Amino acid sequence: MKKLLSLALALLLVAGLVPLTMRAEQVPVKWVSLGGGMPDNYDSWKAKVDAYTTEKIGVTLDADILSWGAYGDRRNAIINGGEYFDIIFTDGGSYAADIAKGVLLDIKPLLDQVPALRDVVPASFWDAITIEGKIYAVPTLKDSALAHFFVFDPEVMGALGIDVEGVNTLADLDPIFRKMKEGAEGVAPIESPFKLNKGGAYHMLDVYDGAGVGVPVLGVRYDDQERKVVSIFETEEIMDNLRLLHTWYNDGIINADAATLAESGSNLPFYVAQGWAGAWTYTKEDADTKETRTYTGLTQPFIGPISSAGTIMGSMNGVYAGAKNPEKVMAFLELVNTDTKLRDMICYGEEGVNFEYVDGLVEQNPDMPWPWARYTQANHAILTPTTANPDLFSGISYVNDNAVPSVLMGFNLDRSSLENELALIKAVYEKYLSEVITGTVAPEEIVPEMIEEMNAVGLQKVKDEFQRQVDAAFAE
């Protein structure tokens, strides 16, 4: 009887009629990440992903794609509430805190079990995210040097007769914004040329290397050969930018609801983004034909490229310390970082719905955009490029190869004696951040108030210890 049953199952398997649950072990892996929220076609997409990953490694995927606006609060609720997950997106702002809370698993002992993953990530990346000899996440192979760009809608700029060549500071943007707000013959005025959400123009802070401090209020300017730790918001450089933001806010260039707006929207005529030249596209419906078209945005460099431990930590995926089957989780992370088919499904969505393969490239469906943020996911080098931009990923190598290394490269702050102070400083920072970084309140008023509260909970102590460790690390 057993032989007959085995024979019957074998025949069914060949015919493709055996349910997946009978074909292979299925271990669910839950991945918490971020983007535009959960896709409408999540169930049908998941079924295709599960069929593939079950066949490959006996794993199914449960994705929890948190929306941009809800991400911070929802992630904190997951972490602090002890909700179960297997993989969670982390970066330089959360990595050290996640480790201190015991949220993440040291995966270093497991790397030899996933040699393809271990070897595809450069040794320098593993070194950069190592904390006290332990590794708690898989770094994402992407634009691993930091580069921020101004992104302009070329059609809007052309209609307004604006030349953006050479525009690479916030101050350079002032006449452009005023012309956009004024409009031109045949071109309607743009109400808020620099539309911000509550995260504001945080990009300006990234010229300072926080070396794992986790709160962008202390750091060393990446090119300061003296390696002086400074209170970032008290530097003249940042204060000048904040004054400019406040002027723009008062003049209506920045939207009045910036400090409370969760998401600023897409296809904006201007925005700031991290990535590489040519990485951003606009998708619009033609007013006459009603057809959707996609075209590449104009880009001008703003900050970087800069390389540091922090830039490598800009996108990582950590494994939960309480993961029920960490070996299977690591097998999934290995697959998604080395297998193009799975990588495309994670990045572009469901084939036949969100995208199609056309002549060896990915043609995305503008009517069914995929909301999962690409930079949070996995290895970019194995992705299939898109028809809209076949050279989409070529700029990654340029950014990485031409990055200026931070003067703190190789240094990570030992936070062990500073966790209480850093937690309190972060709470103060988050209390003031949206109003400071959107220009809503005059910096001369709000910044001293914020710094005073931070000093009351240990800012100076952290600054002094940060400087002591830097001096010791780089002593000749």
Model-level pTM? Answer: 0.68
Which residue in 318, 103, 128, 271 sits closest to 209, CA to CA? 128
SS3 for 169-231 is CHHHHHHHHHHHHHCECCECCCCCCCCCCCCCCHHHHHHEECCCCCCCCEEEECCCCCCCCEE
Q: Please, are residues 239 and 443 in contact by the beta-carbon 8 Å criterion? A: yes
Distances (CA, A) of 296 to 66, 96, 276, 277, 283: 27, 37, 12, 10, 9
Q: Is the pLDDT of residue 20 over 60?
A: no
Structural domains of the chain sorted by starting position, each given as residue range(s) with its CATH number in brackets: 18-141+312-401 (3.40.190.10), 146-307 (3.40.190)
Q: What is the pLDDT of residue 476?
A: 67
Other Cβ atoms less than 10 A from the Cβ of 466: the count is: 23
Read off the pLDDT of each residue in 276-289 and give the average, rounded to a whole number: 79
| Tokens representing residue 289 in the block | 């034909």
Name the β-bridge partners of 30: 62
Distances (CA, A) of 99 to 90, 186, 213, 421: 10, 56, 13, 16
Q: For the chain, what is the mean pLDDT? A: 89
Q: Is the pLDDT of residue 396 over 50?
A: yes
CA gap 12, 300 in Å, rounded: 58
Q: Please, are residues 129 and 309 in contact by the beta-carbon 8 Å criterion? A: yes
**Over the stretch 360-395, which tens digit does the pLDDT of each residue have?**
999 999 889 999 999 999 999 899 999 877 876 777
Task: Give the largest Cα separation in the chain, rounded.
Answer: 85
Percent of the chain with pLDDT over 90: 67
Distances (CA, A) of 405 to 83, 221, 233, 312: 38, 11, 23, 12
CA gap 232, 236 in Å, rounded: 9
- Output the DSSP codes for 17-69: -S-HHHHS--EEEEEEEEEB---TTHHHHHHHHHHHHHHHHSEEEEEEEEETT
Q: Please, are residues 138 and 316 in contact by the beta-carbon 8 Å criterion? A: yes
**Over the stretch 433-448, which tens digit does the pLDDT of each residue have?**
999 999 999 999 999 9
Asked which of 64-68, 402-406, 430-434 is least confident by mean pLDDT, the reply is 402-406
H/E stretch holding 295 = strand 292-296
**Over the stretch 195-239, which tens digit does the pLDDT of each residue have?**
999 989 999 999 999 988 889 999 999 999 999 999 999 999 999
**Over the stretch 79-123, which tens digit does the pLDDT of each residue have?**
999 899 999 999 987 888 899 899 999 999 999 999 999 999 988
Cis-peptide, bond into residue 305, ω within 30° of zero = yes
